[in-house]
Structure 1
Amino acid sequence: MAGGAARIFVSHLAGAPVFDPSGDQVGRVRDLVAMLRVGRRPPRVLGLVVEVIGRRRIFLPMTRVTGIESGQVITTGVLNVRRFEQRPTERLVLGELLDRRVTLVEGGDEVTVLDVAMRQLPARRDWEIDRVFVRRGGGGALRRRGETLTVEWSAVTGFSLEEVGQGAENLVATFDQMRPADLANALHHLTPKRRAEVAVALHDDRLADVLEELPEDDQIEILGKLKAERAADVLEAMDPDDAADLLSELPEDEKERLLTLMRPDDAADMRRLLSYEERTAGGLMTTEPIVLRPDATVADALARVRQQDLSPALAAQVYVCRPPDETPTGKFLGTVHFQRLLRDPPFTLVSAIVDTDLEPLPPDTPLRAVTSHLAAYNLVAAPVVDDSGSLLGAVTVDDVLDHLLPEDWRETEFGPEAEREVAHGA
């Protein structure tokens, strides 16, 4: 669905096949998962419930959906095959929203929900439900029984969250628009009981973003309140370096139990990061930089850079390597910076514009030397390469800052906005 311009009525997705990038079918859509919001704001579509082999139902986040067209869903190919479990803040669109009796705001007529439509927000990967297809149940002389109409989500009441009352569902909805750092600060100031309730209600990706911003004690406390399988899922959703830092603080038996529950590839990344000293390039790096082969083009590079879930520091450059193109890679050839990508024609091969002037960092480079390297050459990230010339990852300026600031810097106030949100939500 190019550009996310068209609306999709969710009933058309029921039973739709789901394919990976190679064209192999991996399952079928059985429902959609949405999160209602306070007031009349359109719900956010979190993902799809997909039935895979063995009739197991799993959750596929919308961030891993690359296209919905011609009655089929295309994914990135990355699936978490753990069984889907509905969270307190989630609603099943087909199972819970359709066939409900709701009320039209204008006129007060009671209507039945026949279908809802979703759209992708411009320039984002988020989806929301913005239209409701309803049938009137009858009425005056000028209305036919069974008259149908499509209205804005805000034009009906009956399934949006109320703004009053306490509960994790309402609190999460109140926090929905907060940045992860601000939400982390808000959680830090809640009681342990409320903090655990909100953490359980948050979606995995959202909780992962928030955990990365919390003080170490809060991270350990929250992770310990989650079921082991969900804790592993949240660790997989975190940036690898942050997840490894959190795992390193856990008792050895608990760390091993969580690593065993993680996907093998993610667990391998964690074990590799845990093998390095904390305040070195290897201990600071992320294992998920943008890696391209020499025959990739500038257009390919720009498409990768545009991925929404990339941090600005990782999106500032791509690393050119011989296959394999996942860390640890084949031979590291050099870096291409974002500004250079903007200056060259789309068909240019990245191997023709690669920068080989700066030496990459060995994994045992101490923090002080990493900091000096970034500062001396005005870099926001630098490659980390082993003795054999393979790219292991990239260390970014935000990771360096985390280790240069005082240990308790996350516990300070982020500003009055977060305080107001805590007072209102808790």
Structure 2
Amino acid sequence: MAAGAPRVFVSHLAGVPVFDPSGDQVGRVRDLVAMLRVGRRPPRLLGLVVEVLSRRRIFLPMTRVTGIESGQVITTGVVNVRRFEQRPTERLVLGELLDRRVRLVENDDEVTVLDVAVHQLPARREWEIDKVFVRRGKGGALRRRGEALTVEWSAVTGFSLEEDGQGAENLVATFERLRPVELANVLHHLTPKRRAEVAAALDDDRLADVLEELPEDDQVEILGKLKEERAADVLEAMDPDDAADLLSELPDADKERLLTLMQPHDAADVRRLMSYEERTAGGLMTTEPIVLRPDATVADALARVRQQDLSPALAAQVYVCRPPDDTPTGKYLGTVHFQRLLRDPPFTLVSSIVDTDLPPLSPGTPLPAITSHLAAYNMVSAPVVDESGSLLGAVTVDDVLDHMLPDDWRETGFRGLEEAGRGE
């Protein structure tokens, strides 16, 4: 941004791409780093936290930012790829300043911070936070309570104090378009206090999706800070296999208490999954594949496949079974692949095009055999059938990868490949 250009509100920078001078994308902005100063002097903006393609977070000093325009950040092209390490004197603008309750110096009114604005100082490559967008009263941005106004940084006080019960509505709104894995990365890099506040502000379905992408330690920490009734609701919203994996990390007493609070049907699925060995088809499978009766049509199957909340792996095929339709089903008859559904007329019965040649997995099939099975038949999902011929669930390739990668693969992906601190 050139000197004298309009200021930029930081919520508009969240997630914008960062490019080098040749036009190649370096990554995306995930936060801004500022340093509070003595008295009422505006904080100095030190740099940006940029998530590069490997999901590693690096620090980009503002001295290496040559432009902020049209929803993009341009750099000098010199990037230090060592992992970002927040220092004690630094504050994350999005993660720590938004949603704070501060006070107006003029009349001591309490206000909530909705956004802050940054600008470049004249004739220098230094940036400051100079404006604060606030709302009177304790309501967050989503509650629309009280008058909203933009004031100078010097007109508010309280940013340097530790705050209990800080809201998270504005931070959540800033990152609402992130995919679950990207929002999980944001949560992982927040302080435990802020992580709990953001988790509390997410709805059950969104939090469930994010929990599935977090390392186990973060999952247990967040779940443990939720009220038990809310924790049970979130577990119900998770995929049964992911909920079973998370519950298996808890002490037996906590596990049983949460299972008791869950809806009986959801709890039964999770208990069934937990009864199998972890690295077997029974332990890896999901209990919610697409199940159709023999008299269903191709049109019925395509309608089920189009459901938005299905993963691509589960949507790649439907399983034809006799009633009941819920797992464990009646007799498993076979599989119809998505490509076959596209080739046949909508009125065709799925029983007439079912693939009966693909052998199912037994619940005790070990992980190496599952991997070989998927590779041999070029499948992204495989049915799991018990001795009586009932479909118990399906193992998807993403479940297999989760257990083939090192135990800390999510943590490694978030932290980056280097453990050294930041250098400028």
Q: Deviations over 1:161-217 (max 9, x none)?
A: 999998411111111111101111111111100000000111100000000000001
Aligned to 1:123: none
Quote how far apart the aligned CAs of 1:283 are.
0.2
- Structure number with greater Rg is 2
Q: Which runs of 5+ in 2 are unaligned?
A: 1-10, 13-98, 100-143, 154-158, 160-165, 417-424
The residue that corresponds to 2:392 in the other structure is: 392
Separation in 1, partners of 2:150, 2:179: 23
Relative to the length of structure 1, the TM-score reads 0.59
Would the aligned equivalents of 1:315 and 1:338 in 2 still touch at CA under 8 Å?
yes
The runs of 5 or more residues in structure 1 that have no matched partner are 1-37, 40-88, 90-155, 417-426
What's the offset of the Cα at 1:412?
2.8
* 2:225 matched residue in structure 1: 225
Q: Is the 8 A contact 2:240 2:287 kept in 1?
A: yes
Deviations 1:290-347 (A, max 9, x none): 0000000000000000000000000000000000011000000000000000000000
Structure 2 residue 187 is the aligned partner of structure 1 residue 187: yes
1:199 aligned to 2:162? no
AA partner of residue 355 (structure 1): D
Paired with 1:291 and 1:391, the residues of 2 have a C-alpha distance of 9
Structure 1 residues 362 and 197, CA gap change in structure 2 (3 angstroms): same
Rate the CA distance shift 1:353–1:188 in 2: closer, same or farther, 3 A.
Answer: same
Q: Distance in 2 between matches of 1:392 and 1:162?
A: 58
Note if contact 2:167-2:201 (Cα within 8 Å) is conserved in structure 1: no
Aligned to 1:273: 273
SS in 2 for 1:246: helix
What does 1:291-330 correspond to in 2, within 5 Å?
291-330=291-330
Give matches, 1:1-400, under 5 Å.
Answer: 167-400=167-400
**Counterparts of 1:252 and 1:236 in 2: how far apart (Å)?**
18
Relative to 1, partners in 2 of residues 1:388 and 1:194: Cα closer, same or farther, differing over 3 Å? same
Residues 415/316 of structure 1: CA separation in 2 closer, same or farther (3 Å cut): farther
Q: Which amino acid aligns with 2:345?
A: P
Cα distance in 1 between the residues matched to 2:297 and 2:148: 47
CA RMSD of aligned residues (A): 2.4
Distance 1:160 1:231 in 2: 34
Q: Which amino acid aligns with 2:344?
A: D
Q: 1:190 to 1:325 in 2, by over 3 A?
A: same
Q: Residues 215 and 349 (structure 1 numbering): CA distance in 2 closer, same or farther, change over 3 Å?
A: same
How far the C-alpha of 1:414 sits from its partner, in A, is 5.4
Distance 2:147 2:280 in 1: 51
Query: 1: CA distance between counterparts of 2:376 and 2:190?
Result: 42
* Larger RCO (alpha carbons 8 Å, 6+ apart): 2
In 2, Cα distance between the equivalents of 1:352 and 1:384? 22
CA contact 1:180–1:210 (8 Å) conserved in 2: yes
The 1:290–1:162 alpha-carbon spacing in structure 2 relative to 1, beyond 3 Å, is farther
Aligned residues: 264
In 1: Cα distance, 2:396 partner to 2:266 partner: 20
In the alignment, the residues of structure 1 paired with residue 264 and residue 324 of structure 2 have an alpha-carbon distance, to the nearest angstrom, of 17
